[in-house]
Amino acid sequence: MQKNTFSGGFVGRNLITLPSITSTNDYLKEKLANSAPLPEGTVIMAVHQTQGKGQQGAQWFSEPGENLTFSLLLSPKSIQPVHQFALTVAISLALVECLTELLPQSHIVKIKWPNDIYVDGRKIAGILIENMLMGKHWKHAIIGIGLNVNQTKFPEFVREKATSLKMLTGEHFDLMEIFQHLCQRIEVNYEGLESAADAVLFGQYVNKLYRLNETTEFFIDGVKVNGKIVGVSPYGKLKVDFNNDHVVEFGIKEIAFI
């Protein structure tokens, strides 16, 4: 285990890098379950994840040493768990901001609802937030982030859909530089939430939505339908307009992009 100290704010200051583990989210969860005294902002980073987890039971594949795969420990105090979508907003935007600064302006960085980060129509990063609640209060939030940086070959089933910073620019990136930059962005947005400035972040999140106001094909209950994304509710539901006539809100399991 390698322990690094980090010059900057509290996010990422306590950085624990492990050569190989199943999943950084699971590792952090286990540490917390065993009452390890970890300060808020602790990051568990893996060079290699053997069972990286994605959303909705999917797997997250990342070539060892090529990308960023880490989990961040946050303990939100001033946001109620019922408003947990605010964290998704803060973290998604931090990734968008970081990538927008790293990439030439010609690239289009978007958030595919709820929290996939896309560049030029391909996925570059995914976020898996796991909340540990105590009654109505938040004990911890584990923010798992996978960001494709230097990987250029992907497994066949994601080849058409995945991208990385290197694929987009032809350049090799320093993982720790990007990590530090991202931690700073996360910290600013997270503190924005804590000071209740989240209406601003929420507006920025909606503006960055992939296919916002464009007619898009979805699957709803196995049926193909056309609708237009018009926004997101404060609880994180996707608002879709049908026939410029009525708007319906959907949870993550109720609608899928085709």
Residue 161 CB, nearest approach to ligand BTN (Å):
11
Length in residues, the chain? 258
In the complex with ligand BTN, which residue's Cβ is closer, 107 or 112?
A: 112
Residue 49 CB, nearest approach to ligand BTN (Å):
6
- Return the number of other C-beta atoms located less than 10 Å from residue 136's C-beta: 8
Cα 17 from chain centre: 20
- Return the number of other C-beta atoms located less than 10 Å from residue 36's C-beta: 10
In the complex with ligand BTN, which residue's Cβ is closer, 53 or 237?
A: 53
Residue 26 CB, nearest approach to ligand BTN (Å):
7
Which amino acid, residue 246?
A: H
In the complex with ligand BTN, which residue's Cβ is closer, 130 or 194?
A: 130
Residue pair 1/20 in contact (Cβ under 8 Å)? The answer is no
Q: Which residues bind ligand BTN (CB under 6 A)?
A: 23-25, 49, 52-55, 58, 60, 69-71, 116, 126-128, 144-146
Nearest to 72 by CA among 96, 46, 50: 46
Give yes or no for a cis peptide into 39 (omega within 30° of 0): no
Report which residue's Cβ sits closest to ligand BTN: 126
Residue 188 CB, nearest approach to ligand BTN (Å):
21
In the complex with ligand BTN, which residue's Cβ is closer, 173 or 241?
A: 173
